């Protein structure tokens, strides 16, 4: 019997609801609003990597593999002139393989390799000066100057490669 009486009572559920649209909204916080962060820059995808002109042929990978083989053979016969020559050839081929990829990615705007590319001419000039038996007191300032100039020029090239093309 009591159930029948309760069912017939007029109850307004809207007034009991917490989500009543007639109520004034309360501020969520009294703390000052924090400006939204800038969206994170998406990492470049591997599919976007610039392809070499000889794309279907894995020339860079072959050069690195031959370089590794030359290093291994040259290491075991490093006491002879032939062994030392193979070591130098192996290091050169491996370095050229990595340098090729770095150059393509850097100048295409895919990924910055400024320091690696700036070190390449620095190392080349340093080796040439050392072979020419120039005093070490001269080699160091020349190497630092070449590194600095190359870094600045390559950083500018990276910035230009990153800039979107301008409409005319």
Q: What is the 3-state secondary structure (H, E, C) of the chain?
A: CHHHHHHCCCCCHHHCCCCCCCCCCCCCCCCCCCCCCCCCCCCCCHHHCCCCCCCCCCHHHHHHHHHHHHHHHHHHCCCCHHHHHHHHHHHHHHHHHHHHHHHHHHHHCCCCCHHHHHHHHHHHHHHHHHHCCCCHHHHHHHHHHHHHHHHHHHHHHHHHHHCCCCCC
Average pLDDT taken over every residue of the chain: 82
Which stretch of 5-9, 139-143, 146-150 has the lowest confidence by average pLDDT? 5-9
pLDDT tens digits, residue range 19-66?
Answer: 655 666 666 667 667 777 766 666 667 767 778 777 888 888 899 999
Q: Is the pTM of this model over 0.85?
A: no
pLDDT tens-digit readout, 53-85: 778 888 888 999 999 999 999 999 888 889 999
């Amino acid at each position: 019997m009591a159930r029948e009486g309760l069912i017939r009572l007029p109850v307004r559920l809207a007034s009991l609801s917490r989500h009543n649209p007639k109520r004034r909204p309360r501020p969520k916080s009294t703390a000052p609003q924090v400006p939204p962060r800038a969206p994170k820059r998406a990492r470049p995808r591997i599919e976007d990597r610039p392809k070499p002109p000889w794309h279907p042929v894995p020339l860079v990978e072959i050069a690195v593999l031959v370089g590794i083989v030359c290093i291994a053979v040259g290491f075991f016969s490093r006491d002879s002139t032939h062994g030392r020559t193979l070591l130098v050839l192996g290091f050169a081929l491996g370095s050229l393989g990595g340098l090729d990829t770095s150059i393509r990615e850097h100048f295409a705007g895919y990924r910055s390799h400024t320091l690696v590319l700036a070190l390449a001419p620095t190392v080349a000039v340093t080796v040439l000066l050392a072979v020419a038996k120039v005093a070490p007191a001269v080699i160091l300032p020349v190497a630092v100057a070449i590194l600095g100039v190359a870094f600045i020029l390559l950083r500018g090239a990276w910035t230009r490669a990153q800039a979107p093309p301008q409409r005319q």
